[in-house]
Amino acid sequence: AQKVTQAQTEISVVEKEDVTLDCVYETRDTTYYLFWYKQPPSGELVFLIRRNSFDEQNEISGRYSWNFQKSTSSFNFTITASQVVDSAVYFCALSEDPNTGGFKTIFGAGTRLFVKA
């Protein structure tokens, strides 16, 4: 069965610090998709990134970077030089291959990030 674990419930950092949000997943599929979403205090869900299981290249987008390691079933998210606007709940999610079981996405419980000025 699929499972996504975000062990960090809350993280608090001071502005300009780097912070890494952990995500560990479980799946029996060989082809799957991993996601990160941001939910700011306003409540909407914002898509950040999607990775395919067959593409382990790390990705950098501005101050955001993602480290995908199939060997440890992890898809960690790092924010460099954090800012107050980064304060939000971040969700990691896993989706199975659409050619097998259908479009089902499992979310982790989320990590609440507080960035203090």
Partner 1 sequence: IAGITQAPTSQILAAGRRMTLRCTQDMRHNAMYWYRQDLGLGLRLIHYSNTAGTTGKGEVPDGYSVSRANTDDFPLTLASAVPSQTSVYFCASTHRDRSCDTQYFGPGTRLTVL
Can you give the binding site for partner 1, defined by CB under 8 A? 4, 6, 33, 35, 37, 43-47, 50, 52, 91, 93, 95, 98, 102-110
Sequence-separated (6 or more) residues with CB below 8 Å from residue 97: 29, 30, 31, 32
Nearer to partner 1, 61 or 117 (CB): 61
Nearer to partner 1, 45 or 60 (CB): 45
Structure tokens at 75: 């898809």
Nearer to partner 1, 15 or 107 (CB): 107
Nearer to partner 1, 13 or 106 (CB): 106
- For 13, the enclosing helix (H) or strand (E) is strand 10-14
Measured from the CB of residue 107, what is the shortest distance to partner 1 in angstroms?
A: 4
Measured from the CB of residue 51, what is the shortest distance to partner 1 in angstroms?
A: 10
Measured from the CB of residue 52, what is the shortest distance to partner 1 in angstroms?
A: 7
Measured from the CB of residue 98, what is the shortest distance to partner 1 in angstroms?
A: 5
Asked whether the beta carbons of 115 and 11 are under 8 A apart, the reply is: no
Kindly write down the DSSP assignment for every residue of 55-111, as one continuous string: ----EEETTEEEEEEGGGTEEEEEESS--GGG-EEEEEEEEE-TTTT-S-EEE---E
